[in-house]
Amino acid sequence: MGRTGLAPEDPERLGGYRLAARLGAGGQGVVYEACDEAGVRVAVKVLHGDVVADPVLRARFAGEAAAAQRVVSRCTARLIAAEKDGPEPYIVSEYVDGPSLREAVRADGVLSGDRLVGLAAAVATALAAIHEAGVVHRDLKPDDVLLGPDGPRVVDFGIARTRRTSSAFPARVVGSPPYTAPEVLTAARIGPAADVFAWGAVVLFAATGRSPFEAGSVGAILHRVLTGEPSTDALPEPLRSLAAAALDKDPGARPSSRDLLLGLPGWSGGGRGGASPGLAGIVLPEDFRVF
């Protein structure tokens, strides 16, 4: 992750957490590296915008963060705590010491072979765990896949939507256009199929170094998401067929996250239990299993 020093306006502490550095900032808020009272490193994301200003959204955020805390931490960064009552709500999650998929591809090039299949399987495993808890990530992108020492981890689902309320938050709160499913853009109710669409786009990014819907403007990106048919030729089978199905415009025609895993019977574990050359993070953890 892009670690930098604290900015002058940054607090030194939030609740029981001492802030050490900035890990990133975006439309949803700022992510900090921090330590708890016992000195354990954590990631703290301070939210702003609509969630801060609207008490209804604050209450909904608290309920949905509680749901996210029930996600089994298999290929995910465990959500530890959520604070809803301060001037700015924040969430605390497990710290993953590794670059994002975007940073790794930028530094070391695209993935192929077992490393690519392992990455795809790990992200599908994380989505299966998230969906099993009744949660929808809704904003999965290469920045949300961190390549930790024990394998890829999906992060930033602490402000994800539960299935029951997945259409309630304004679209501007979350969403990265090149990885956003068509139904998100048309204000349809959002379910796990939107995450599966993002999975297909993330896997293609890992294999090619670019989003399958990349374009010169946001409007052009959205048009391609709604109407474009991206090529999956850069992927080996069975990833090629799985990604093509995941990127179907019709959410009802997409496989589930569990189906993605069941569609990868050839994955043997590759570098499980040890480092893979070039990108040590592309391994599956020892407790990997198909749901």
Per-residue pLDDT of the chain (291 residues; tens, 9 = 90+): 568 899 898 889 998 999 999 998 776 678 999 999 999 999 998 887 666 777 777 777 777 777 778 888 779 988 888 887 777 888 899 999 999 999 999 999 999 999 999 999 999 999 999 999 888 988 899 999 999 998 999 998 766 555 544 443 443 434 578 999 999 888 777 899 999 999 999 999 999 999 999 888 989 999 999 999 999 999 999 999 999 999 999 999 999 999 999 998 655 443 333 333 223 334 444 444 433
pLDDT, residue 106, reads 96
pLDDT, residue 158, reads 62
pLDDT, residue 67, reads 77
Task: For residue 263, give the DSSP letter.
Answer: T
pLDDT, residue 42, reads 96
By the 10 Å C-beta count (0-12 exposed, 13-18 middle, 19+ buried), 267 is classed as buried
Residues belonging to the chain = 291
pLDDT, residue 275, reads 31
Q: Check if 97 is active-site.
A: no
pLDDT, residue 175, reads 53
> Which string of b and e fits 210-238 if b means at least 16 CB within 10 Å?
ebbbebeeeeebbebbeeeebebebbeeb
CB 7 within 8 A of CB 22: yes
**The pair of three-digit structure tokens given for residue 161, joined into one six-digit string:** 């939507």
Amino acid at 86: G
pLDDT, residue 289, reads 41
pLDDT, residue 86, reads 76
The reported pTM is 0.82
**The pair of three-digit structure tokens given for residue 174, joined into one six-digit string:** 């979350």
Integer-rounded Cα Rg, in Å, for the chain is 18
Considering the candidates 114, 139, 150, 248, report the single residue annotated as catalytic: 139
Instruction: Kindly give, in sequence order, each residue whose CB lies less than 8 Å from that of residue 14, ignoring residues fewer than 6 positions away.
Output: 32, 34, 44, 46, 83, 86, 90
CB 45 within 8 A of CB 93: yes
Instruction: Kindly give, in sequence order, each residue whose CB lies less than 8 Å from that of residue 105, ignoring residues fewer than 6 positions away.
Output: 111, 142, 205, 206, 209
